[in-house]
Amino acid sequence: MIVLVMGVAGVGKTTIGEALARSLGWRFVDADDFHPPQNVAKMKAGIPLEDADRWPWLARLNKVLREEENAVLACSALKESYRQRLAQGIAHFTVVYLHGSFALIRERMEGRRHRYMPAALLESQFAALEPPADAIAVDVAATTDECVTAILARLAQR
């Protein structure tokens, strides 16, 4: 099974995704590690990515995921079309949607140092977000451990 942990920047995809992968004994894949240099340069400059920037990146991630039996992927995957591309050809694909208030996420982003994603891009992330209809939804106002426990309980029901 591939578990996509998705949401806007600063929501905790990496933190929760790594903890979930450890709990399951699965590989953790961070989508940020697969961005081509031109995407990273745009984001560092505070320029939101466009769909044309994302398609090759999503295709590369899908190729990586198709080689895994079980893995947890942390990826923004803000649009349904992105999630469909990630899931293409994967029999068991589950989406975990991490969400929280704009104020909470902005506060977290301002308190962290990310390789290339400035807090200034958060508004564009919320604007682009298409919340998934069939997902395990988790409010990140809870602790990491509480989020992981909730995700594990819901995965057991699927």
What is the per-residue pLDDT across 11-55, written as a single tens digit (0 to 9) for each? 999 999 999 999 999 999 999 999 999 998 887 787 878 899 999
Structure tokens, 155? 């995965």
SS3 annotation, 104-150? HHHHHHHCCCCCCCCHHHHHHHHHHCCCCCCCEEEECCCCHHHHHHH
Closest CA to 62 of 52, 71, 53: 71
Whether 78 shows a pLDDT value over 80: the answer reads yes
Is 90 exceeded by the pLDDT of residue 96?
A: yes
Average pLDDT over residues 57-63: 96
Average pLDDT of the chain, as a whole number: 90
The sign of the torsion formed by the CA atoms of 106, 54, 158, 68 equals: negative
Highest mean pLDDT out of 100-104, 119-123, 137-141: 137-141
Q: For residue 90, is pLDDT > 90?
A: yes
pTM above 0.85, yes or no: yes
Using CA atoms, how far apart are residues 137 and 91, in angstroms rounded to an integer? 21
